Structure 1
C-alpha cells in the first residue's frame, strides 16, 4: 500500500466501524458484508467489533480509550512496512515484541563496530500515525533522553520514518515481569522488598527529573537474568515541570485499571502521589500474590466505582484470596505469611493506596525509607512515637543479652581507666585532667541512673538486652543539663561507641550527631574528647563506605594527637589504628594497610600504659589482611603465637579466643588446610553464638567462610544453608552492603560449582555486583571477578571479558601481586581465547601467570584447566 491508499483504507475502516456499531448486534455482520467495498476492510472492522465486545465485558475504565489500544494491538501485524526483515535507519526488524495503546515495540538489530546490538524499537502504528499518539511518542522519547539510571531502560537512538512517524530505540531487556520473576524463584519477603526498593529508586530518579511514570504495573517492570530491575514504558509519563506536558488527562485512559489511581480514573490532576499508588499496587501483589482488586467479569461502571470508593483488604487479609502463594514467599503456611504481613507492611501498603492523594506518602523516598526500616527491623515513620513498638524493633534487631551490671561495669571501668590516665599528665595539664575525671564520673553516674530506669531493672528481670539498656540511656540523655555540654558530648560518645559494637549503626549515627552538636558548644573540650569524636566519625564513615570522609576524620585525629604532647588515651589510639587500616584496605590500598598495621602494632606494644591484650584486635586485622594478600604463612605464625599466649592466661571457652579462631580459620583456608579451618571455625561460631547471639556481622562472615569450606568438601547443601543464614544477618544490618555482596558471591559459587545451575549463579553474581558500594574498590574486584567467571561458565564470553577487564585494576589495587590477580588474569585469557582473540589471550596468559595457576588455585577443574587448554592450543 502507498501512504495515500493506507490513509484511505483506515478512514474507510473507521467509517464502517462507526456505522456498524450503531446497528443491532445481531445484524452487524450482515451489514458489514453489504457495506464493505473491500474484504480487507470488512475483516478489519470485524476484528474491531470483536475487541470492542470483549473489552466492554472486562476492563474498560475509560470510555473508548482501551478500544483504540486493543485495536492497535490487533492491527499491528498489518503494518507491512515493519515486517521482519524491514529496515528502519540502521536497524533491521527481527520480530514484534508487543503492542500497546501507545505504540508497537519491535525487536531490532544493528551492527556497532562489527558486533550486533539488539534494541527494542518503538514506533507509532501505521493506522494511527497522526494526531496525539505521535506527540505521545515524541514526548516519551524526550523523557527517556533525560533519564539516566541503571534500573531504567536507557534510550539509545531516535529518528523518524519517511511518513513522519517518530521512533526510538531503547535498551532491550531480556527479562521477566517482576512478579513472575519472584514467584518462579520462590523469593522470600526480604528479597522481594529488596527488588521493590530498586524500583522505588528508579521511580524516585524519574521524579527528581520532574517525570511521572503513571503506569507502574508488573508488565512495565522487568527483572533480567542478572537480577537487575528495569523500569520500562514511559508512554503515558508526564513532566511535572510543565515543559513537556501540562494536560492532566493526556494519557486518555491508556493506563491499566489494576494499578490506576483514583485521580486517574476520575480524570483529575495527577502527581507524585499517582506513582505512589502504582507502587503500592505493585507491593501489594509482591507481598500477597494477588492484586488489590479483582475486576474479572465486572462492568466498567462497577470497576470505576470500586477504584474511587472501595478500600482494598489489607495484604494480610488478602492471603485467603491467593493461590497458596505463601510457599513462594518462604513461609510454610498461610498463617506465618499473615503474621509477617500484619503490622508494618499492612500499614505501608494501606498508606500508598489511600484515596486522597495527600494522604499517601509525600515522596517515593519516604515510602522506600519505611520499607528499608521493615527490612532492618527499625520503626517505620507511621509508628515512630509508639514506645513499646520501638522497643520491640530494637529487641528484634539485637537479641544479645548481657547482664546489666556487667555492661555498666565495663563502662565504669573504661571511664575509671580514662581518669587514671588523665591523672598521670604533667602538672601543667592537671586542670584538664581533673576536668576529664569529673566528666568520666558524670558519665558513669549518668549511665547507672539511666540503666536503673530501664524496665528490666524495675522488675528485677535477669533477661535484659544490651539494646534495651542503651535505648533507656539514650532516652535519659535529655535529662542532662543543657549547660553541661561537655558531659552531654561524653555520654553521647560513649553510647555511640557501644551502639557501633552492637552493629546498631543508625542509633550510633544519631548519638554521634548529638555529640557533635554538644562539642560545637564546648570550646574548652580536651584533646582526648575531640579525638574520640574524630574516631567515632571515622568509623561510622568507613562502615558506610564513605572513605574520603573517614580519611579526613582520621587525619584530624592524628593531627590533634601530634599537637598535644600530654595526650594520653590509648584506647582511642588503638581504635584509630583499626579504622585507618580498614579504610586503607577497602579504598584500594592493601599494601599500605599492612605496613601501617605493622608500624602501629610495633609502636603501641612498647607503651607501658597499654596491656598486650588490648592490642589483639590489631593483630587480628593484620593477620586477616596478610591471609587475603597471599601471605597466609606469615599470618599463621603470628596467630599460633597469639593463641598459645591466650591459652596460658584464659579459660578454654573465653570469648577473647573467638576472633583468634576466626582469623586462624581464614589463614588455614588460604593455605588449603581445610580440615583445620573447619575445626577452628566451627568452634569460633559456637562461641560467638553462645556469648553474642545470632545477629552480628562477624557471625555472618564466619558462616560465609565455613560455607565455602563445606562447598569445597562436597557439602554444597550445608554450605548454602550457612550462607543464607549469613545473608539473613547482613540484611538485618542495613549498612553492611559489602558483607551481603560477599555472601552473594559465595552463593554464586554454590550454584555454579555445587549445583551446575548457571542461571541461578548469574543471578546471585549480579546481585553481588549490584549491592557492592561503588566506593569499595576492594569489594568491586571480587564481585566483578565472580560475575565474570559465572558468565564464562554459561558461555557469555564477551560480557565476561568486559567485567573481568574492569575488575583487574581493582584486583591489583586490592591485593598487589597476589594469586588472586593471576586467577583473574587466567579468566580473561580464557574468555579471549573463546572469542578467538588468540593474541589477547597470549598477552594475558604469560608464563609467570601460568606457573602461578599450576601451583595455586582452589578450583583446579576451573581456572587451571582452562589455562592449560589455552596454553596447549596457542603454544605457551
Structure 2
C-alpha cells in the first residue's frame, strides 16, 4: 500500500492489511523490523493511523506465510479486558467466507496492547479497481453483491464491521475474475467491546469513516449500532460505484450531509452535477449510453441506494442479504421492492427479462398480458362513459373470451424451448467459447419447468390480482377468467391453486344460477378433480356426492352428470373399495354403450377407467387388451402426442409390464416419460409419475443402477414438492424399498418398509388395498433377508387374511402371500403343510395355463424341495423334470428377465436353507 487513498478521508485508513510499497519505520514505531511477536517476525510497517499500526510480518510456525498484524494503541488491557478480547478474537476467527480477509490469530503484547493477525491481501480498493479495469454496471453490481454476501456472513456470526469503505474492500484478480476481500472486519467492534470500561470507549464505539458512517453510528440518532449500520455504509459504497463519487461531494463538506437532516441527492442527480461531457463519459465507463444510464438510475437504482441510506434504519433494507436479493432482481430484470409498484413497471420488467424468449416462443403469454390490458382498459372506459355501458360490456365479453382462449392455449413446452433457444443465441453472440459448457449446463435443466414457473408467477398471479382489483363489479367476467386460469394451473401441475379458482367460479354460478345449473355442476366437477389431484380424495369424494345430489334432476347420460359419476367411481377405487368401484364403472360403461357410438369420447373415457381398474385388480390380460386397442385408436384419431393419447400410452406400458412383457413396456414407457419431460417439465406431477413407472420397469429388467438413480431422483422431488406423507411420495418410497430388496440391501429395505407400513396404516387404514399390498411385500422381504421364521410367520399371519379379504383369492398379491406361506413352512421343516400348500397352488396355476405357456418353475422347484425333504425323491425328480428342467436347460442368451428372477430365487432359497439349521 502506498499510504492513504485520496478519496478515503478516514482516521483509520492508515491501517491497511494489503500489499504495497510500504513506509519506512516511523520514529517511535512500536515494533521494529526483525522483532518477534510470538510466532511472527515483523518485516516492516505498512501504515499507521489513529488506532495503531499495521505491519507486514512472516508467520514462522506451524505454517510459513505472509500475514498482516494490526497493533492497537488505544489502551493497555488488564486481565478482565484480556478476557473480553479473547471472546472477541474467537468470534472474529469464526468468519470464513471468500469475501472476508481471514483473521488468523489475536493476542496482546507483553505490555498489554492488543493485536490482530490477518490474511495479507494483494489488491486495490473497490472503487479504484472498478475504475481502473473499466467494469461495466452489471460487472460492478456482481462484484458488489459478493461484498454484500461477505457482510451478511459476518452479520450471521454476530460481527458488525462499522467501517465499510473502498479502502477496506480490496479487489484482486484470481483466474481473470475479480475477487473482493473485506479487511478490518469487526476490529472496531472487538476493540470497543474489550475497552468498554475505558475512558475512550465512546470514541472507539464511533470508530469509522464519517463519509460512510450511518447516522446512528455518528451519534445523531441516540440508538445503539446494529447490522443496519453496515447496510447504510453499503448504500454509500453503491452510490459511489454508480455516480463515481460519494454523496455530498461538491457540496459543503464541513458537515456530513448524508447523516444530517438534509435530503440526499440521488446518484442520477449527482451525475448531472458533473462538468459538461463528464456525465456522458461516466455513462461510457459503465457501458451504457447517457439516456440509458439516466433511465436505469432514475427508474430503479436510485431507489435502491436511497432505501439503503434511509436516515431511519427501520426503513432501510433489513439486512445485507435483502440488499443482495434486490440487486439480483435488478440483474435478472425482476421488479424491485424499493421501486413504487405499478402495472407498467412490472410489465416492462417482465418483457425486458424475456424479450428474446418471448419473441421466439411466448406469443401466448404476451397475448394474455395484452388481453388483460385491453380488458382493464375497456372496463375503465365503461365506468367513465356510462352511456356506452352496454356496448362496452359486449366488447369486454369478446375480449375476455379471446383472453380465455389465449390462457387455455399456453404451451410451456414451446415457451421453454424458446427460452432455451434465446439463451443459446445470446451465449453464441456474447461468449461463443463458453457455448459447450452452456450446452452441458442447459442439458441438466428443464426449460419447461422454468416456463411453467414463469407462467404461474408472472402471468397467472398478475392476472388474478388484476381480476380481484378491477373486476369486482363484473363477477361474470371474473368467473370466466378464473375458470381459464384454473384450467391452466391444472395443466401446469398446480392443483391446489386450481381448486381455489374452480371453487370461486362454482360459488359464483351457484349464487346466480343455482346449485343444479349446468355451469355450477361443471365448475364443481373441476374443483373435485383438482382436489383429487392435490391428494385430497376424501374431500373430493364428499364434494362429488354433493354434486350428484344437485344433479339428480338431470337425465341419465347427460355429459356433466356422467363426468361426475365417473369421478365418483374413480375416487371410490382410490379410497380402497375396489370391488364396488369396479362394479360402478362396469355399470356406467354398459349403460352408455347402448346410447353412444363405439368411438364416442365419453364411452372411451369410461372404458379407459374400467381397464385401469381391471389391471389393478389383477385382471392383467383383459386390461392389456383394452389398452392395446384404445392406444391404437387414439393415436390414429387424436395424434401421437395428444394428452389423451399419451395418458393411454402410459397405461398400456404399465399393463405390458404387469403382463411380463417388460422390454416392450420399458421402451414404450421411456418414450412416454421423455415426451412428458419435454412438454411439461421434469418435475410436473405427470412427468414424475411416468419416470417412476419407468424406474419400476427397469427394476423388472434388472437394470438396477439406472432404476435406483431414477427412483431416488423422483423420491427427492416428491418429498420436496408434496411432503413425506403424500401418497405419491409413499408409493415411490415403496418402489425404492423393493429395488433395495432385489439388490439384497435388506437392512435399508426393511427399515423403509417398516416406516411405510406405519405411515399407510395411519393415513389409509389397515385394510386399504395399498396397505395390504405392503403387508405382503414386507413378509416377503423378511423371508428373503433370513429373519427368524417366527417373525416372518407373525407378519404372514397378519398379511394373508387381509389379502384374501381385501384383494380376493385370485389377486396376484394374494397368490404371492400363499406362496410365501409355503416357503416359510418349508424353511421351518413343516413339510406336510408346505407340500399341501404348493400342490394347491400348482393345481391352480396349471388350470389357468394356456397352451404354449411355460410351467411355473418357481412353484415347481419349491414343491420338489418339499417332496425331497419329506422322503419322496422320485416324485421330486418328476416335478423338477416337468416344471423346472426346461429353465435350467435354457441357453443364457435366450433368458429373459423373468427367467433370471426365477434362477435368482432358486439360488437365494438354496443358500438360505444351507445357512440355517432345520426348522430355524
Normalized against structure 2, the TM-score is what? 0.43
1 or 2 for the larger relative contact order (CA 8 Å, sep ≥6)?
Answer: 1
Q: TM-score, length-normalised on structure 1?
A: 0.45
The structure with the largest alpha-carbon Rg is 2
